[in-house]
C-alpha cells in the first residue's frame, strides 16, 4: 500500500510482507469461512468465528463486466470506466465477489488464475489516496 493511503474499509484486507490478503472469518465449530467477516456462522449459526487471512491467489469462478455507472452513491474512480466483477474461489474455503483489474471480457475466462492486488479507488477530500482490493489475472 502507498505510505499515506488508507483502505476503503479497515476490516476488509491487510497488507502483509507477501502482499495484500483479505480478512475472512472461520467458524470454530464447522469450519465454514466467510468474507467479509461475520459475527456468527451462516451455516451452523454459532457465534464462534475467528478472523483468518484468506489465500492471496485463487481462480475465477464467474465474472461479468460492469459497463455502466452503478446506482448512487457511487464513490469509485472518475471518470467512470467499465470494470470487471468476478467471483473468485480462494482455496476450498470460500468464494468472494470482487472487482477485477481486467475489464476486457475476451481476456477473462472461468478458471483463470488470479491474485489479490490493491489499486487506487478514490481520494479523500484532504488528498489521502484510498485503495481497494481487486483481483488481477496471473501470468
Report the interface residues with Zn ion, using CB under 5 A. 27, 29-30, 32, 41, 43-44
Query: At closest approach, how far in Å is the CB of 43 from Zn ion?
Result: 5
Give the shortest CB-54-to-Zn ion separation in angstroms: 17
Of 9 and 43, CB closest to Zn ion: 43
Q: How far is CA 36 from CA 39, 92, 104, 125, in A?
A: 10, 16, 27, 27
Peptide bond into 48 cis (omega under 30): no
**Rounded to the nearest whole angstrom, what is the least distance from the CB of residue 42 to Zn ion in the complex?**
8
Between 18 and 39, name the residue whose CB sits nearer to Zn ion: 39
Calculate Rg over the CA atoms of the chain. Answer: 16
CA angle (97 as vertex; 92, 108 as ends), nearest 5:
90
Closest CB to Zn ion among residues 26, 99: 26
Amino acid at each position: 500500500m502507498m505510505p499515506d493511503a488508507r483502505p476503503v474499509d479497515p476490516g476488509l484486507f491487510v497488507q502483509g510482507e507477501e502482499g495484500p490478503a483479505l480478512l475472512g472469518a472461520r467458524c470454530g465449530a464447522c469450519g465454514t469461512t466467510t468474507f467479509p467477516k461475520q459475527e456468527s456462522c451462516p451455516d451452523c449459526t454459532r457465534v464462534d468465528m475467528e478472523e483468518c487471512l484468506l489465500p492471496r491467489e485463487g481462480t475465477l469462478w464467474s465474472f461479468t463486466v460492469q459497463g455502466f455507472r452503478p446506482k448512487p452513491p457511487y464513490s469509485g474512480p472518475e471518470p467512470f470506466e467499465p470494470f470487471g466483477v468476478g467471483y473468485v474461489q480462494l482455496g476450498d474455503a470460500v468464494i468472494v465477489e470482487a472487482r477485477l483489474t481486467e475489464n476486457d471480457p475476451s481476456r477473462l475466462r472461468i478458471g483463470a488464475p488470479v491474485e489479490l492486488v490493491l489499486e487506487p479507488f478514490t481520494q479523500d477530500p484532504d488528498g489521502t489516496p484510498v485503495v481497494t482490493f481487486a483481483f488481477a489475472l496471473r501470468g
